[in-house]
A and B are shown apart, each in its own frame.
Chain A
């Protein structure tokens, strides 16, 4: 049975969780005019990499990325996948630490940081230990419950928009793409990568259509644009660039007189945090697949718990927000590796495999 719908929903959810918190600040910091070009450029890279990656995977159909890399030799697989594994672990650490910080900053001021990190890790470990199929089903149910709500808040977030802030549309910097290699922009790739790599790890008994995934990626584009433009339209570029979480600030200005709740944003943010937890569970599951292939003797639940404990300890050692940003920056090289090298190598390996099979037959 075709599971495309579940895979698409998972894809959407993981990206949605990542878009609205850090991404707008990075984009606004990297450009003062014509942010749409930055969003669009990043998005085009994203979609093309998804297309290349899924094409490569479709060439070697029932195998996953690990099988594919191993077919080119164990040493090669180890060397090529090691950075990916490190990237995954770092991503779990950064995500847990950063989002726990966001939670304490925005609405749980009195709760100690470690309890929130523990909650994130415990829940994501639990979900990942139940396997990817149940994770997908969970994603469907969670999306069904939370999505209508998110859409409502997103629609409401335009309440204070001043469309004059949209102009000017372009300047020299935006047109020359000179922002691309600067730190904030490279950091903003955080929202794109990671969310689609799981496509290569899906076992063959969960079939999906790669074309649908690529097409449905375009559903994300409005969300990327909204996350950047709602704060811009609400506050203007000068003010928006001062906030650590511009989108959330923008939604916080929304006042709905007919609702009994004063801060609709809170429910919005928490829904997104739940998506992030699913994302964490997904990355943990990918990580466990890699680990178990590298160490076949390792027992699944034990490795999973050990990994969570390790992440927890590292998270405790991260002292403050600037350290988190530093880690996000260090992770950039690995992120670029995961975003570009892995899909391209997958494509190349898949393509050569396909050719070899064609010659043999």
Chain B
């Protein structure tokens, strides 16, 4: 292959590609690589220094032992393109008969290690993952400095190679879990993994699941504690979260940073979270059941006061609740999209103005506003944003069952949810299992 000609023609397609002629210890060479990835002046300075060192040891630059880059013997097109796409720099002679690749000085394209943006830590390490895979691996290693930490890395995908690292702790991890993950990943190395949906497809999870099979965490500390407990951690390049496999029901309630508090507080936080989940899921359904189907269950004073607050409300309780829930979901969704500076406006408009007006216009009852506000707040006691979304869904199942069958519907709904949770399993590890490293609890 005529390397210079090939790269020239490539330059027409990729205006980002530079071909920079220079002289290296009296030898004219050409440097090639991507402008957007390589810091050229720094790299040239570094290269000069290396060339001088090589010359003083009487090694010509293209000699394998010169210490400048890795020689490539008659490389193919694919090899060349892969190397420059991976951010490496090519050095070749004018005629193109000799070539080597070099790890250059990269432009800084990742943000620095910062505090987490989706998880708050009160007490505990605050540094969070960022988009750079190697930084993330380094962070995990720093938090989990053990010689038993094992790492397997893969490049997944046909068109875009995405680097992926699988971390686990030797001797702790459930052997069957490790084998299943490795088998799934190695079976389809050419599948593109642009997002988590594709990843769960690759790992063989159903598309219709309501429970995320892997917990995502932004905190290296959480990833390290998961490793210590025998779980597997997947890191994807350009993805500032660690995926912890398998996810279990305890992940909703137990966080590693709780352990930085005295036991009593830790325990009470966990109880609060359980109560939060129950409140969030049950309250709207309970309201509908008690107002529209089984009012006799309530103490007469409370029943009368609720009936009084509903006076003038034109809809049945179910429609009333659904209307307000829809507005709440819209508020939630819009606060996520909006820039941080405008977010508080939504809180004010949605919470104060709308809440007040909707009651004064007799569209919904006071009690419902209280219940839905409490339920929404309770939703976020759960750990991990991905878990709150599935809880939001269960609420609707209970709501409809309650509207049809009253309190019976509510309880049957709980049984259905419990059964669903009981049925989910990840690589043979049930979602409801109590996790002990290396052993399986059902």
Interface on A for B, CB 8 Å cutoff?
1, 3, 6, 103, 107-108, 111, 115-116, 119, 123, 126-127, 130-131, 133-138, 140-142, 145, 206, 259-263, 266-267, 270-271, 273-274, 277-278, 281
Cβ of B240 within 8 Å of any chain A Cβ, yes or no, is: no
9 A-B pairs with the lowest CB-CB distances in the bound complex, closest first: A137-B422, A138-B422, A134-B423, A130-B423, A134-B422, A141-B418, A138-B419, A270-B411, A127-B419
**Is A123 within 8 A of B293, CB to CB?**
no
**Is B408 within 8 A of A263, CB to CB?**
no
Instruction: Return the contact of B419 from the options A103, A130, A259 (Cβ within 8 A).
Output: A130
Known: A108-B293, A134-B423, A266-B297. A103 touches B408 (CB 8 A): yes
**Is A3 within 8 A of B416, CB to CB?**
no
Known: A123-B416, A134-B419, A138-B418. A1 touches B296 (CB 8 A): no
Interface on B for A, CB 8 Å cutoff?
293-294, 296-300, 302, 404-409, 411-412, 414-416, 418-419, 421-423, 430, 432, 439-442
Question: What is the count of residue pairs linking A and B with beta-carbon distances less than 8 angstroms?
Answer: 110
**Is A137 within 8 A of B414, CB to CB?**
no
Give chain A residues whose Cβ lies under 8 Å from the Cβ of B416. 123, 126-127
**Is B432 within 8 A of A274, CB to CB?**
no
Give chain A residues whose Cβ lies under 8 Å from the Cβ of B414. 142, 145, 274
Can you list 30 A-B pairs, Cβ within 8 angstroms, ordered by A?
Answer: A107-B407, A108-B405, A108-B406, A111-B406, A123-B415, A126-B419, A127-B416, A130-B422, A131-B423, A133-B430, A133-B442, A134-B419, A135-B419, A137-B421, A137-B430, A138-B415, A138-B422, A141-B422, A142-B414, A260-B298, A261-B298, A262-B296, A262-B297, A262-B299, A262-B300, A267-B411, A270-B411, A271-B411, A273-B411, A274-B412
| Interchain nearest-CB distance for B213 vs A (Å) | 16
Distance between Cα atoms of A126 and B296 in the complex (Å): 31
Distance between Cα atoms of A266 and B295 in the complex (Å): 12
**Is A142 within 8 A of B415, CB to CB?**
yes
Give chain B residues whose Cβ lies under 8 Å from the Cβ of A126. 416, 419
| Interchain nearest-CB distance for B212 vs A (Å) | 18
Distance between Cα atoms of A1 and B174 in the complex (Å): 14
Q: Is the interface of B mostly helix, strand, loop or mixed?
A: helix
**Is B415 within 8 A of A277, CB to CB?**
yes
Distance between Cα atoms of A104 and B398 in the complex (Å): 20
Give chain B residues whose Cβ lies under 8 Å from the Cβ of A137. 421-422, 430, 432, 442
**Is B296 within 8 A of A263, CB to CB?**
yes
Give chain B residues whose Cβ lies under 8 Å from the Cβ of A206. 442
| Interchain nearest-CB distance for B258 vs A (Å) | 21
Distance between Cα atoms of A285 and B434 in the complex (Å): 25
| Interchain nearest-CB distance for B260 vs A (Å) | 27
Give chain A residues whose Cβ lies under 8 Å from the Cβ of B300. 262
Distance between Cα atoms of A145 and B274 in the complex (Å): 11
Give chain A residues whose Cβ lies under 8 Å from the Cβ of B293. 108
Instruction: Return the contact of A140 from the options B405, B412, B432 (Cβ within 8 A).
Output: B432
**Is B302 within 8 A of A6, CB to CB?**
no
Give chain A residues whose Cβ lies under 8 Å from the Cβ of B430. 133-134, 137
